[in-house]
Amino acid sequence: MKLIRFVSGILVVGMLLIFSLSSAGSDNQEGKEAPLVSETPKGKTVNPPLTDDQQKKSTTPVSMPVYKPPLRGAPGGRIGGGTRGWKDAITLFVLAPNHVGLTVREQPTLYWYLSKATSYRIIIKIVENQTQSPIFEKQSNPPAQPGVQPIRLADYKVHLSPHTEYRWSVTAVPDPDDRSRDIRAGGLIERIEIPESVRSKLARAEKGEIPQIYAEAGIWYDALMAISDLIDARPEDGVLRKQRSGLLEQVGLSEVTE
């Protein structure tokens, strides 16, 4: 009988001890902060959230370039070409503003746009506006793909003189025997000395900031070249393409962006 009472007493004490420990553990769980990483199935890993610095590095570190036209000269000078009603109709645009666009480069890259693939012969021409003397003329086969096309003047050893206005054009020739059907687009360009304020900003700038610096200074061709160079380096970056489209829309080239 005494043995039974002794065993019963031990069982009661054990149960009380287990209950106390369970209550204490529960209190401690309630007092702790929730873990930062949630539980995941076995074998899987959840990465912690990116820090602010990591997020900046993982996205394109540039804002939309805002073009401020230079306060000089009257608007006008850009022409666009297209065909209407033809089975093989195409449209040409030079990616230039509707005024004299500026560059600080002796051999800038010019850009033009072709709406769709064509078999027409292409003529590229640069003329000194005052004398009407051509400094460059080239006939070539059409590009393999439509879209934005570069003309790298360095490839042709073409040099622009400072403070000289040039007219450049791209012409598609549907019928060499009837040049009245030519499709032509053209714009104006002038080379200037780089302002010291722009030179100073460029010396401290990241690559992604260069288009904005040129655009803000009213230097159109170099802003477009800078953003296009970034696109060539990262063709999958949709943000950069949107920024170039935004830049073109600012000078009335929304048809190109569409």
Task: Identify the CA nearest to 220 among candidates 176, 250, 179, 258.
Answer: 250
pLDDT of residue 2 exceeding 50, the answer is no
- Ordered structural domains, the chain, with CATH: 81-257 (2.60.40.10)
Mean pLDDT computed over 140-155: 95
pLDDT per residue over 78-115, tens digit each?
A: 888 766 545 678 999 999 999 999 999 999 999 999 99
SS3 of residue 118 by DSSP: coil
Q: Which of 4-13, 24-33, 45-54 has the highest mean pLDDT?
A: 4-13
pLDDT tier, 14 (very low <50, low <70, confident <90, very high otherwise): low
Task: Quote the pLDDT of residue 242.
Answer: 95
Can you tell me the mean pLDDT for 186-192?
A: 97
Mean pLDDT over residues 21-45, rounded?
A: 43
Closest by Cα among 128, 67, 136 to 98: 67
pTM, full prediction: 0.74
Query: How far apart, in whole angstroms, are the C-alpha atoms of residue 176 and residue 178?
Result: 6
3-state secondary structure of 161: coil
pLDDT of residue 63: 75
Half-sphere exposure of 24 (CA within 13 A, CB side): 6
Higher pLDDT: 77 or 99? It is 99
Region 210-218: mean pLDDT is 97
DSSP state of 47: P
Distance CA 118, CA 87 (A): 11
Contact, 110 vs 151, CB < 8 A?
Answer: yes
CA dist 95 and 112 (Å) reads 5
